[in-house]
Chain A
């Protein structure tokens, strides 16, 4: 079997053999379900119905969820000494990093599958606009890929899961907030530059169903950058 998939599969089994997977799934379903119900309520009042606000809200859920998902991936291996097992096996840092990242990403994909019932439900009882659903799904996967890459990176930095989790959460929060100055001061150049580094505008554009290559490249390069940084951190252990 392809080694990264083997490591990813172990991570997925790890999630489901502890409480974390069930707690996260339950929280995810609860929060997305509440949003869905409130959207239906608004539509019943006569507001135009769209699933986009629902997916837009999920970015906040991802903000909280990613640190919980990724904090243990490498920090725990460092703390318990199993990193020694991985790196005295014939594995490259890329294989280990990819395995961890794919594991976390696959779990996010499971969460997204759980929200499939929204479009199915809407399609059953009304007219479904498929574009935003596709766009949002792709946007959420891209977002999850970048968030997980950042989480894996933070987890590679320290032995403590808690510290790794807080680092991840802090970093993601900052990346979200980078878009705010541009919203209040549209003429400020610095604010415009900062907004380019925020995930939010890219995410928001994709949500509507407009998949632009620049947004895809943004998320791909963000993911690649942090995965690459992780491999460097893992390699640096040799020289300490």
Chain B
């Protein structure tokens, strides 16, 4: 549904986005992850036809963002970083205004309006002026306007910003309910959101894609072992690092050893044998699954 090919955006001398390529299949929910200023918003603005790329191309629902911009915009629902709201309008007026702009036929307008109000859980506030709403409600109006024309593709820039934990859980639930009828690309830096809603993650840092994979695979790739010894010798770290498949050894403050594994190797058996042979007193040896946060930090920290 979304195909991006070596997209770049250059501001003066700096690259906001550099040679970004990825694809999102129909019915997928893909998380777009990266620190602030990594190029998430720029990429999303390009995909939603608000900006043109400096080079590269992208197709959404089969339409080119430069040559069939109107069709692209008809197929997407876009929530910008700051929900684009008119404070002087009521929620209902605002949503019906947006519905006309997005080309919803008159006959379907009432139905779509109710569906959008329902999706944002906004029924009780439908006649409140938007400027009187709290940040959480405004964000929900922002989500409601993105789906008011029932688009097949949704591009959501930080949909859960400004929401409290309960609202965030509701938003996650809502986004999950959008698939598989719709394709969703959402950016966030709230990692639990990604872990719970997305089937796949694209990690972007300093304008470049640094990883894209299923959430489990990303976490598995950075997994390691945790080892606790009763009588570690001073040269234990060095000997451990020589075991085949071990990429690195760290001594944690609590005395335990952290072992990074190269690739998907499982060196547990060799390590156990070594510990017995050296008589270090093996107390504990376990697999440590990295969470997404560690992966994220690892991928986006340049050293």
Task: List A residues at the B interface (Cβ < 8 Å).
Answer: 1, 3, 6-7, 10, 14, 17-18, 80-92, 237-240
**A141 to B218 CA separation, bound complex (whole angstroms):** 65
Other than the given A84-B78, A89-B73, A237-B50, 8 more pairs (CB < 8 A) read A1-B100, A14-B86, A81-B84, A87-B50, A90-B74, A90-B103, A91-B73, A240-B51
CB-nearest residue of chain A to B48: A88
Task: List B residues at the A interface (Cβ < 8 Å).
Answer: 45, 48-52, 70-71, 73-74, 76, 78, 80, 82, 84-86, 88-89, 97-98, 100-103, 106, 145
Residues of B within 8 A of A7 (CB): 101
Does the CB pair A82–B85 fall under 8 Å?
yes
Pick from B52, B73, B100, B103: contact of A88, CB below 8 A.
B73
Residues A91 and B101 in contact in the complex (CB < 8 Å), given A84-B50, A238-B52: yes
Does the CB pair B76–A88 fall under 8 Å?
yes
- A187 CB, min distance to chain B CBs, angstroms: 52
Q: Give 12 pairs: A residue, B residue, CB < 8 Å, sorted on A.
A: A1-B106, A6-B97, A7-B101, A10-B86, A14-B88, A80-B82, A83-B84, A84-B78, A84-B80, A89-B73, A90-B71, A238-B50
**A90 to B86 CA separation, bound complex (whole angstroms):** 19
CB-nearest residue of chain B to A96: B101
Does the CB pair B100–A3 fall under 8 Å?
yes
Pick from B45, B51, B89, B101: contact of A86, CB below 8 A.
B101
Residues of B within 8 A of A92 (CB): 70
CB-nearest residue of chain B to A84: B80
Residues A89 and B82 in contact in the complex (CB < 8 Å), given A18-B88, A238-B52, A239-B52: no
- A77 CB, min distance to chain B CBs, angstroms: 9
- B94 CB, min distance to chain A CBs, angstroms: 10
CB-nearest residue of chain B to A82: B84
Residues A89 and B101 in contact in the complex (CB < 8 Å), given A84-B50, A238-B51: yes
